[in-house]
């Protein structure tokens, strides 16, 4: 096996949802759940970042990182921060949501893409598979406009209307399709000509509920759409993470309970259902990591 296939998988284990891949570095972060889950103040994010830097392997070339529920997707920002000394790269985000929303209280799982767009090492961001109305007309004002207008961020949606982008001078920032096959065909043809290394962030809420169940409303992708993308990125990946596993947590903070409920997370799941859903999730994690391990860049 070549060295580029030997990166050690990382589990940032906030919620015991991901399973532990063979030979993985498993870091118990359960005590951080209340502080970090869904969102946190910048001071708290920086506190966690310092802790992770002390605990994780020092090299920037981590293996695929499992983060748990999509409630932790903002941890991708920390993983991107670790790559500050590499040449500018392409960030591809597979997500049912744009994660480019305004959040005045710090950083959260629905706002981190905006902060990623401010990083100089991130040359371009494509969020693909958006099936959420978060990019619709009613929510246009909630999206950060500047990365769209500056051509750094692009939305690739399925059956959503974000035509408001042309009114803010960002008509080239939105692509819409009727089905995931057409989206993926066009996206793969576009990125084939890009001479950029890539960081891949997968939130499995981009997938149909027929594939796996997550904590969030879900999109249209099937498993093969993710695998087709990873195959296309062979030899280009400098980093990757996976979120969108399913877990249940009741916040001590009333404020967080209110915010998460307002985002459609009010329904509590039975523990036996969660354990059943996690079986399929863990199988998919294993399959995706095996493919990602074949796509690392030649260092």
What pLDDT is stored for residue 248 in this prediction? Answer: 85
Q: At what angle do helices 180-191 and 223-232 cross, to 10 degrees?
A: 10
Q: In the β-sheet with 10-13, what is the strand arrangement from edge to edge? A: 25-28, 10-13, 65-69, 237-245, 198-203, 89-94, 122-130, 153-158, 174-177
CB 206 within 8 A of CB 94: yes
- Cα–Cα distance for residue pair 238/89, rounded to 1 Å: 9
Which domains, ranges and CATH numbers included, belong to the chain?
Answer: 3-292 (3.40.800)
Question: What average pLDDT values come out for the chain (299 residues) when binned by 10 residues?
Answer: 70 96 96 96 98 92 96 98 95 98 96 98 98 97 98 98 97 97 98 94 98 94 98 97 93 80 64 89 97 92
Distance CA 66, CA 282 (A): 10
So what's the pLDDT on residue 59?
Answer: 82
pLDDT, position 1: 41
pLDDT value of residue 270: 65
First-to-last C-alpha distance (Å) of the chain: 14
């Amino acid at each position: 096996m070549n060295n580029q296939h030997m990166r050690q998988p990382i589990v940032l284990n906030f919620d015991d949802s991901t399973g532990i891949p063979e030979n993985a570095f498993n870091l118990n972060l359960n005590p951080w759940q209340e502080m970090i889950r869904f969102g946190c103040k910048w001071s708290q994010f920086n506190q966690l970042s310092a802790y992770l830097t002390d605990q994780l392997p020092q090299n920037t070339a981590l293996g695929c990182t499992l983060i748990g529920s999509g409630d932790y997707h903002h941890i991708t920002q920390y993983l991107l921060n670790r790559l500050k000394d590499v040449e500018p790269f392409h960030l591809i985000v597979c997500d049912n949501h744009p994660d480019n929303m305004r959040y005045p209280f710090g950083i959260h799982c629905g706002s981190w893409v905006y902060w990623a767009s401010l990083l100089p090492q991130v040359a371009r961001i494509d969020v693909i598979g958006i099936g959420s109305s978060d990019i619709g007309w009613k929510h246009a004002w909630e999206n950060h406009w500047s990365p769209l207008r500056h051509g750094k961020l692009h939305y690739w949606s399925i059956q959503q209307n974000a035509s408001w982008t042309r009114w803010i001078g960002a008509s080239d920032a939105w692509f819409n399709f009727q089905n995931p096959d057409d989206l993926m065909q066009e996206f793969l043809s576009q990125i084939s000509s890009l001479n950029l290394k890539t960081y891949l962030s997968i939130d499995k809420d981009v997938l149909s509920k027929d594939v796996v169940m997550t904590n969030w409303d879900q999109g249209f992708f099937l498993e093969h759409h993710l695998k087709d993308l990873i195959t296309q990125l062979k030899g280009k990946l400098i980093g990757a993470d996976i979120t969108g596993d399913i877990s249940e947590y009741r916040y001590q903070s009333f404020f967080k309970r209110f915010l998460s409920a307002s985002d459609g997370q009010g329904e509590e799941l039975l523990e036996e259902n969660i354990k059943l859903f996690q079986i399929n999730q863990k199988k998919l994690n294993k399959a995706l990591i095996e493919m990602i391990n074949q796509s690392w860049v030649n260092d």
